[in-house]
Amino acid sequence: MTANNTPDDTGIRGRNGNGQFVRTIEGAERDAEVARLYSQGGITFREVGEQLGISKWAAISAYNRAVRDVIQDAGEEALKVHTSRLEYAVARCMEIAETDHVMVSHGRIVYDDDGQPLKDSAPILAALREMRGALADFRRMTGMDKPAKIEHSGGVKYELVGVDPQDLA
């Protein structure tokens, strides 16, 4: 028992080389068992705790960790999928931007006075715009576009207008 008379996490959490608590496989399995029992319905956290030999509050914490882990795992998987798609989009945009394009008008290639096809930069510029958008999406998705912190130092001066300070005393 810990100081607050709740069972400790012996065997559930370990410590890393820095002495910080870390999750163990046993702890994750216990959290999953709590979530499974509670999710069946008709059972309280107190009853889940009694079945597993832990307090009601330890059962609630275990349930919250299990739910958070599921959401976090799903979020990480979604991030991998979106990252992969954005990497593909950027690669395709680079391919288009690095390709020479000829100018076409009314379905025919446009030639200069020397008989050479005119180059068209519009597809390149469009590809670069799309790539810029994909990279911006990636920055937003990964949190790289967090607003800059602005620090302010100094005092604030309050001034009462239309009031004689002698009247306040």
For the chain, 169 residues long, give each residue's pLDDT as a single digit of tens: 344 333 444 445 566 777 777 778 888 888 889 988 988 888 899 999 999 999 999 999 888 888 888 878 777 888 888 888 889 999 999 999 999 999 999 999 999 999 999 999 999 999 999 999 988 888 887 778 777 677 777 777 777 687 777 777 6
pLDDT at 50: 94
**Exposed, middle or buried by CB within 10 Å (0-12, 13-18, 19+), for 23?**
middle
- For the chain, how big is the Rg over CA atoms in Å? 31
Domain locations along the chain: 13-142
Separation CA 63–CA 33 (nearest Å): 9
- Block residue for tokens 């030639």: 111
Angstrom CA distances, 161 to 38, 78, 104, 150, 168, stand at 63, 57, 71, 30, 13
pLDDT at 92: 93
pLDDT at 85: 87
- Residue pair 136/166 in contact by the 8 Å Cβ criterion: no
pLDDT at 118: 95
pLDDT at 13: 58
Separation CA 88–CA 147 (nearest Å): 27
